[in-house]
Chains A and B, each alone.
Chain A
């Protein structure tokens, strides 16, 4: 008798989702699905809008990573305008994106995942949250809150507001950083560096505490994809795409993001609004790949900042060279915060960020453009087609969380198979299944724009389709 167990909603992620686990006649896990149960529709309702509005509209895809969408959108628009933007604008956009990575990663680690890691996956679920974390380790909780605040302050200093800053524009940005704001941000940097280095120390100590989780949370071979700069250096704003495998071998390199449709396919499953992108040369679903912090650290040659490169070296020793377990997303995320802060320091010291030459202006010079950058959760593509008047004819958004969809499904199945023993599932095992998803820091608001069949009922069914029972978990626990 096949039985289906559902966890709904999956908590401490951005958006709404549920997980179905299918049990076979013996009570063993036969399969598991990660359903995303929300639909946005941005690709459709953007049609007909002027190109100049796209950054402002698509930033509303998400309140956590609007900056990522702003940047990918204006980069697509830069292509359509056929402009080369001023060096100062590139540096200011980079500064903005690094701040976005800091604030988003801080949210993911300190607010959403640290309660599991520091308090334990089997700890009291009513305390396994930021309040419980703050009670157990006030310094970490306080530092995490201030670290995220620092990232948000940079975004606000540049764009005028923390969320949806209307400051990035096709051709550049709308203004430089002021000397006063730069001084303030420089004064905040040492504390932020201290916080993430302390968190890295905590994280390394926790690795020995969770060997079983590291072995079962998405620990499988896959491809890894992301942008790299010259010599394979870690990149977040520009560069070319690299694909590596689980041995570290480079499968493809120097791929132009604008030609993504030549090597990335987009499959749709009937049980989720989330697309299932795959690497086309290997087909679907064998072309499974991961993006985001884990992938970026796997594909890069180095981070090119001294503190973070030391951490990267130790990280690679600890994870065995190439990190294939999704459990290490957390660790990778902290190293990315560190390199982002070091890079922020460099950029704040650069006089170009105060330059008044920050924007190139042009009209419609091409009818198609692809913008690509690294969002906190992974590689992000905005692809626009416009008419001669600059009105949007077609939009395709390829979002980081979607690109991790196949890996998230496989992660859920692996955790379920490892931890579930029959129909009685302890809360700690439920939490581990959720935590496997949380490791990817999925942003479902961003990634749900593929039309599918949304299952609304939470069910436990036998193989004949008869409903056996329904399981729910209260939101917020």
Chain B
């Protein structure tokens, strides 16, 4: 969180990047390592959040941005990858475990709109007690996200893809 701030300080940010995971859970922390690297290269139009888990309260910070990228470890992923997200059509509420799609669904219901959203996944193998170790994967994910920031062409392509994927889900 950046201080000082007021409600009006939020304004409408271009990007919000949320790294998700447990810092003590081995590869589970990969998403947070990615955003910590991004934080070093901070850009004024980008807000970085590093969270242990997703909670409903994040919907209000997501609402304040035009585009949101979730970054998370994924045991089923083979490569660092990005894909557009749409709201979960059948969200399963569980107070301790919210998915990015579930958050988008809650946001759509409570606010009537959602930002364009992506999920960046990193392959994960070990969620045991310890620290995430694969710096190359983190670097690759950082480069991928920076390419989204930097390239209008790339951004436009992803935005178009996202719009197609979101389908009937309303977006800003």
Binding site for B on A (CB under 8 A): 12, 14, 63, 107, 111-112, 129-131, 134-135, 138, 141-142, 145-146, 148-149, 152-153, 156-157, 163, 178, 180-181, 183-184, 187-188, 475-476
Contact = CB atoms under 8 A, between A and B. Distances in A.
A156 B4 contact: no
A453 B149 CA distance: 56
B59 interface: yes
Interface string B74-112: 000000000000000001111110000000011001111
User: Which of B57, B60, B92, B94 has most A Cβ within 10 Å?
Assistant: B57
A14 to B, nearest CB: 8
B110 A145 contact: yes
Given A111-B95, A131-B93, A152-B57, A180 B105 contact: no
Given A138-B110, A152-B57, 11 more contacts: A14-B95, A111-B56, A131-B93, A131-B106, A135-B109, A142-B111, A146-B57, A146-B60, A183-B4, A184-B4, A184-B5
B109 A476 contact: no
B52 interface: yes
Contacts of A107: 95
B3 A181 contact: yes
Nearest to A178: B3
Given A157-B3, A181-B4, A184-B5, A145 B109 contact: no
B95 A112 contact: yes
Contact of B60 (A63, A135, A145): A145
A63 B51 CA distance: 13
Contacts of A14: 95
Given A131-B93, A476-B94, A148 B3 contact: no
B1 interface: yes
Interface of B: 1, 3-7, 52, 56-57, 59-60, 91-96, 105-106, 109-112
10 contacts: A130-B56, A130-B93, A130-B106, A145-B59, A146-B57, A146-B60, A148-B56, A183-B4, A183-B6, A184-B6
Indicate the member of A131, A146, A475 with the most B CB atoms within 10 Å: A131
Contact of B3 (A131, A180, A187, A475): A180
- Top 7 nearest A-B pairs (CB, nearest first) are A180-B4, A149-B57, A129-B93, A134-B109, A142-B110, A134-B110, A138-B110
Majority secondary structure of chain A interface residues (helix, strand, loop or mixed):
helix
A98 to B, nearest CB: 18
Contacts of A63: 96
Contacts of A148: 56-57
Given A157-B3, A183-B4, A187-B6, A131 B91 contact: yes
Contacts of B56: 111, 130, 145, 148
Contact of B52 (A138, A142, A163, A476): A163
Contacts of A178: 3-4
B73 to A, nearest CB: 20
Contacts of A138: 109-112
A156 B3 CA distance: 11
Contacts of B4: 178, 180-181, 183-184
Nearest to A147: B57
Nearest to A474: B92
Most B C-beta atoms less than 10 A away, residue of A12, A149, A181: A149
A395 B106 CA distance: 42
Contacts of A149: 57, 60
A148 B96 CA distance: 15
Chain A CB count within 10 A is highest, among B4, B56, B60, for B56
A156 B60 contact: no
A351 B55 CA distance: 33
Contact of A131 (B60, B95, B105, B112): B105
Given A111-B95, A112-B95, A149-B57, A134 B3 contact: no
A156 B49 CA distance: 14
A468 B85 CA distance: 47
Contacts of B95: 12, 14, 107, 111-112
A181 B5 CA distance: 8
B57 A134 contact: no
Nearest to A11: B94
Nearest to B109: A134
B107 to A, nearest CB: 9
Contacts of B7: 187-188
A326 B83 CA distance: 48
Q: Which of B4, B92, B93, B112 is most buried by chain A, counting CB atoms within 10 A of its CB?
A: B93
Contact of A184 (B3, B93, B105, B106): B3
